[in-house]
């Protein structure tokens, strides 16, 4: 579906892609209304293991293929004008998987950050994380810290990895912190409202996602950003995550732009 076109689209998108377009054409971008581009999107990259089964391969191969497309997805998001993208990388429930798969996933996350650090810097991608990192290995925590430091100056787009993250766990930790603040008289119970609670969530730095994308056709939020997704639009892509491409991201944005966001009104 076509949308109102700004007369000089190249000027509208110039701040987003100073380099030559890599993923989309000017004709595709002309279908979008720049003012309606979501600033923050969240993605549940589901389907790595099912993709591996279809390929008669291992879970590790599925996770590797899934990791390989994250940076291209972030770069494509940047080209569209999206400023932050949060990936559900490892959930609090994922600890119930086999120790072999958990170890492989942790190794993959660490290796990925090491391998992609220079590319992230070149592309202006800033790394941030949400979740309870205390359960992660010291090596992985160190790699996360170093990558954050190395990309702290990057300002084109923020990549937020949710690692050992669960929405209920996040809210529980926020409540514990708030109670501590009340006990030490830094807060009073009369000050507790939705804004206060949001301030103590892992995502306090960013606006809530306007759009959440889940792949593999599953229609669940799976304990992901359960506070923040209250009024987010949800788009389900019927494709396994390793097969997700910039085209699918574009389709999600097109669909998002034609929806009427009432925000409870």
pTM above 0.75, yes or no: yes
Q: Which of 94, 132, 169, 223 is catalytic?
A: 94
Q: How many residues does the chain have?
A: 265
Is the model's pLDDT at 125 over the cut of 80? yes
List the domains of the chain with CATH numbers. Answer: 38-166+207-258 (3.40.1180.10)
- pLDDT, one tens digit per residue, over 140-181 is 999 999 999 999 999 999 999 999 999 999 999 999 999 999
- Are the beta carbons of 73 and 246 closer than 8 angstroms? yes
Look up 156 and say whether it is catalytic.
no
Query: Residue 177, Cα to own-chain centre: how many angstroms?
Result: 25
- Are the beta carbons of 82 and 40 closer than 8 angstroms? yes
- pLDDT, one tens digit per residue, over 17-61 is 445 899 999 999 999 999 999 999 999 999 889 989 998 989 889
pLDDT of 57 reads 87
> What value does the mean pLDDT take over residues 177-195?
96
Q: Which of 46, 60, 156, 164 is catalytic?
A: 46
d(CA 92, CA 224): 10
Look up 208 and say whether it is catalytic.
no
**What are the φ/ψ torsions at residue 176 (nearest 5 degrees)?**
-60, -40
Confidence category of residue 8, pLDDT binned at 50, 70, 90: very low
């Amino acid at each position: 579906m076509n949308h109102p076109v700004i007369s000089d689209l190249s000027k509208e998108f110039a701040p987003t892609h100073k380099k030559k377009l890599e993923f989309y054409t000017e004709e595709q971008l002309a279908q979008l209304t720049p003012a309606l581009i979501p600033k923050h999107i969240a993605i549940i990259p589901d389907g790595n293991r099912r993709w591996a089964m279809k390929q008669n391969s291992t879970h590790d191969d599925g996770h590797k293929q899934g990791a390989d497309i994250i940076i291209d997805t972030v770069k494509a998001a940047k080209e569209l004008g999206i400023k932050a993208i949060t990936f559900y990388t490892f959930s609090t429930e994922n600890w119930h998987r086999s120790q072999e798969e958990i170890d492989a996933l942790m190794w993959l996350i660490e290796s990925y950050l090491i391998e992609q650090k220079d590319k992230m810097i070149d592309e202006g991608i800033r790394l941030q994380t949400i979740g309870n990192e205390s359960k992660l290995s010291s090596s992985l925590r160190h790699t996360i810290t170093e990558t954050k430091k190395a990309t702290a100056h990057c300002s084109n787009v923020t990549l937020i990895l949710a690692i050992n993250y669960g929405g209920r766990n996040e809210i529980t930790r926020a409540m514990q912190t708030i109670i501590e603040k009340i006990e030490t008289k830094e807060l009073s119970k009369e000050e507790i409202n939705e804004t206060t609670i949001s301030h103590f969530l892992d995502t306090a730095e960013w606006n809530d996602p306007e759009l959440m994308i889940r792949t593999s056709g599953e229609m669940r939020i799976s304990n992901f950003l359960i506070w923040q997704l209250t009024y987010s639009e949800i788009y389900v892509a019927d494709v396994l995550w390793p097969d997700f491409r910039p085209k699918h991201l574009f389709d999600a944005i097109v669909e998002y732009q034609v929806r009427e966001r009432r925000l409870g009104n």
